[in-house]
Every structure is written in structure tokens, then in C-alpha cells.
Amino acid sequence: MAQALLDTVPPGTLVTGRLAAWLYGVLEPGTRDQMPLDVATRLGNGPHVRRSGVRASRRRLDEDDVVTCHGLLVTSPLRTCFDLIRSSGLVEGVAVADAFLHAGFFTQLQLVKYVGAHPGWRNVRRARQVALLAHPDAESPGETALRLVLVLAGLPEPCVNAPLFDERGRYLGRPDLLYLDPVFGIEYDGAYHDDEDVRRIDVLREQRFRDAGIPLLRYTAEDLQRRQHVIVDVVRSALRGDPTLLEEAAWPLARRVCFARSTLDAARETAARHQGRGQGAVDVASVRS
């Protein structure tokens, strides 16, 4: 596809938006929408492009905002992310930022600083909120949406994909989300979990958690769409140690489970950053599993 783009992108322009993110290997085009061919020229210093199938714009671009990728001029990863999170809803924007952070293109601090260096830009307030909510350990948009349902409801920030080991040092797995007091995991079951082989792996991993005394709560895309209040109520009750929701006998054993100290420190730092955020329902309509 990169070679086809070389023949398609108008001369004197650079690739932007979701197409740029695709070139970086961060986003997929999706099955419902054809990925738009977004291109841009420097504001006041480039040709005005009019071509069928091309969405052209003129933008303020610093030298660091333009790089070469697969032989094409492309907005840098930071600039691409910044543009996308300003033009997306909150949940989709955080999913985009999570994907860039997880790929290692930049750190959360670099994203926060970049957003802060562009005061007054369109939708920059949303970009600031997205940058603070982003997490480099998130691995899927659905997982991000589930985390935001909890955090935006005022619940504590969970650990994300933290590796768990039993008291003998044996690796148990990585629940999507993890709370520490009391200890329990939360899983987002996307469409790929319907695969028979994936389901078999899920069952074995869940059994390891249960053998170690770690209960798991599981939610699907339908839960995120229709039952956010139920998710919040259940997790809130679980955090209070409600034995009717999680096996009461699991708590003493689960407290002996080990995890990396760096994971706990990172979780505490993230929770401190997010204190004082407003509450509200999460719009997950645009987030694919």
C-alpha cells in the first residue's frame, strides 16, 4: 500500500491523520470505513489540492512536525497523535494516544508537553484531558474504553496489563486491569476471544488466577455499550470486598500474590495524576473491539 500511496499522494503534500497512523503501524483502517486519504500542505506555503478521494488541508507545521516514512512525507508521530486526539471523541482519542504510547513512539510526558506547547489550538482542552488519561500499557481500544468507564466514574486507577506471579515466583498472566486492595482482575473480552483457541487459553489462564485466589470480572463490548452503570456498581462493590460478588475465601490468599514493584509505583503515580477528574458516562460507540 505504501508504494500505491507514493503514486497517489499529490506532489508537495504530506500524509496526515489516520493514514499517517496506519503508516506507523499504530492504527488499522477498520472494516466499516474506507481509510480517508488525508494530506496537508504548510499554511500559506503550499499548493491548494483538489483531487477526488483526497481530503486536503493547510496546517501550521514546525520542522519537527514533518518526517519521512516509507518514502513519504508524513506528520511526525507526535503531531499525528495530536491532530487525531483533537478531532476524536474522548474515548477514541485516548485509544489513539494509548496505541502511540504502547508502540513506543514517545512518552506520556512528551505528549503532555507537546499539547501544552499549543495553547489556543482547536480542541486543545480535549487533547489535554486525553494526554492525562492515556496509558502506555494499554493494548486494545476496548480495554481502554473499559478503563475509562471506571476512572471517569471516580473509581481508582487500576494497574494495566501488570504481570502477576504467585508466591513461588511462577508467572500467572496479565489481567487487562488489576486492583490491589482487594486483589482482583478485570478482563475485556473482544471479538477475538470468541476464537476457540483463544478461548481455551483464556480458560487456562483464568484457572491459574483462581488457583492463586485472584477472582476475575469479565466484560464485553455489549456491556460497555449497554451496562456501564452495572460495571461501575459491581467494581465499586468489589473494591469494598463484597463477598457476594467475589469469592470471600480468595482474599487472604490473593494478598500474597507478588507483582513487580515498578508496576505498583507506576499505578500510584498514575492515580495521583488523575485525582480530581470529573465524572460521566463513557461514549464507546466509536471504539471497536
Per-residue pLDDT at 181: 87
Residue ranges of the chain with per-residue pLDDT less than 70: 1-11, 29-35, 43-54, 56, 191-199, 202, 243-289
Helices (H) and strands (E) in the chain, counts: 12, 12
Per-residue pLDDT at 69: 87
Q: How would you class 159 by CB atoms within 10 Å of its CB: exposed for 0-12, middle for 13-18, buried for 19 or more?
A: buried
Per-residue pLDDT at 59: 85
As a whole number of angstroms, the longest Cα–Cα distance in the chain is 69
Looking at residue 45, the DSSP 8-state letter turns out to be S
Q: How would you class 73 by CB atoms within 10 Å of its CB: exposed for 0-12, middle for 13-18, buried for 19 or more?
A: middle
Per-residue pLDDT at 201: 72
Residues 6+ away with beta carbon under 8 Å from 205: 172, 173
| Euclidean distance between CA atoms 15 and 173, whole angstroms | 39
Q: Record the pTM.
A: 0.80
Strands 183-189 and 216-220: parallel
The string of DSSP codes covering 136-179 is TT---HHHHHHHHHHHTTTPPPPEES--EE-TT--EEE--SEEE
Per-residue pLDDT at 215: 85
Helix (H) or strand (E) holding 58: strand 54-59
Per-residue pLDDT at 51: 60
Strands 66-69 and 72-75: antiparallel
Per-residue pLDDT at 288: 45
The per-residue pLDDT for range 12-69, each reduced to its tens digit, is 788 899 989 999 999 876 544 566 778 777 766 655 655 655 676 788 899 999 999 8
Burial 221-249 (b: 16+ CB within 10 A, else e): bebbeeebeebbebbbebbeeeeebbeee
Burial 109-126 (b: 16+ CB within 10 A, else e): eebbebbeeeeeeeeeeb
